[in-house]
Amino acid sequence: MTRVITRPEIESALPRIDLIEAMEQAFVAYSSGKAVIPPVGELLFESPPGDAHIKYGYLLGDDVFVIKVATGFYDNPKLDLPSNSGLVLVFSQKTGQPLSVLLDEGELTNLRTAAAGAVAAKHLARSDSRRVAVLGAGVQARLQAELLGRVIQCRDLTLWARRAEAAANLARDLDQGGWNISIAESPREAVADADIIVTATAAAAPLLHFDDIRPGTHITAMGSDTPDKQELHISIIAGADVVAADSISQCLERGEIHHAVAEGVIRPGQLLELGNIISGQSPGRTSPAQVTVADLTGVAVQDTAIAKAVLRTIGDG
């Protein structure tokens, strides 16, 4: 019988899961050729604006395969509804039978995305980073800051959002987590003194140019998960010393790398994959002055990893 697991059950298991380690292992497995991940399924909506992503795949020799549906409808807060929702389906890789339905309402997608951002900073940012800048003020901006705090020492944070009220609300939330927070009036101002930049918006036009950032900066760009979104001007990808993709094949079709390759400012052969940096197959940052960029478009292997971790933890509990 298929087991239906509710969000409260999922949330009760999450504190017992090392999300950072789970994402590291997932990326390494993917870059090692141990995962089968088809292209993303996608539906885009205009009125109201929104999107639905279908991501699915499996690990070779595993017991299960996973299908995840995640939605983002950006006018939902006007209806007192969350912007993001979704569910995860887990099937037997041996029989094809549905084993579990994780009614996470998008929470697992949010957390695995934030954990991936922390992994990127852990392996690419300078260890002596002193200030973080986060662009955006939604759920993902908050989670990116919270999980980033698990892997870095600095606690100085600058926020920017299109709506000043949203930035102020996020600042109040994050203040309880030990961050020393300031709010900037523009993206350029927000990143002026930043060593780590996280872009967590749904921007359709670049927020930052290469001239806005300092030598030695690491940027995690995770908002551009469709071909039409873009947070970084292609000059940043062109000028960066290290450009890492969660999935090179996927980033050639969406995200910051997609735009830069289309404009001819970078070649696919210049790209590194995050899993190979984690495993040591690729060098990543090699000097403090380098500018590094991680383009995170979200890979189904992450959904498989977090779904399995939740099911394992609930079973153990």
147 and 211 share a domain?
yes
56 and 127 share a domain?
no
Q: Considering the candidates 68, 78, 229, 308, report the single residue annotated as catalytic.
A: 68
Average pLDDT of the residues of the chain: 96
180 and 288 share a domain?
yes
279 and 151 share a domain?
yes
Could you read off the pLDDT of 110-133 as tens digits, one per residue? 999 999 999 999 999 999 999 999
142 and 275 share a domain?
yes
Q: What is the domain-level CATH number for residue 200?
A: 3.40.50.720
Q: Which residues contact 277 (CB under 8 A, 6 or more apart)?
A: 123, 124, 244, 283, 284
Instruction: Quote the pLDDT of residue 178.
Output: 86
Would you call 68 a catalytic residue per the annotation? yes
39 and 187 share a domain?
no
Could you tell me if 86 and 105 are in contact, meaning their C-beta atoms sit under 8 angstroms apart? yes
94 and 231 share a domain?
no
84 assigned to some structural domain: yes
Using the predicted structure, report yes or no on whether residue 317 has a pLDDT greater than 80.
Answer: no
Q: Per-residue confidence at 316, pLDDT binned at 50, 70, 90?
A: low
113 assigned to some structural domain: no
Range(s) of the domain holding residue 262: 119-299
Could you read off the pLDDT of 133-184 as tens digits, one per residue? 999 999 999 999 999 999 999 999 999 999 999 999 999 989 877 899 999 9
Could you read off the pLDDT of 25-51 as tens digits, one per residue? 999 999 999 999 999 999 999 999 999
Instruction: Quote the pLDDT of residue 242.
Output: 98
78 and 226 share a domain?
no
Q: What is the domain-level CATH number for residue 72?
A: 3.30.1780.10
44 and 175 share a domain?
no
- The total domain count for the chain is 2
125 and 246 share a domain?
yes
150 and 101 share a domain?
no
163 and 293 share a domain?
yes
The string of DSSP codes covering 33-78 is: T-EE-PPPEEEEEETTEEEEEEEEEEETT-SEEEEEEEEEETTGGG
The span from the CA of 228 to the CA of 51, in Å, is 11
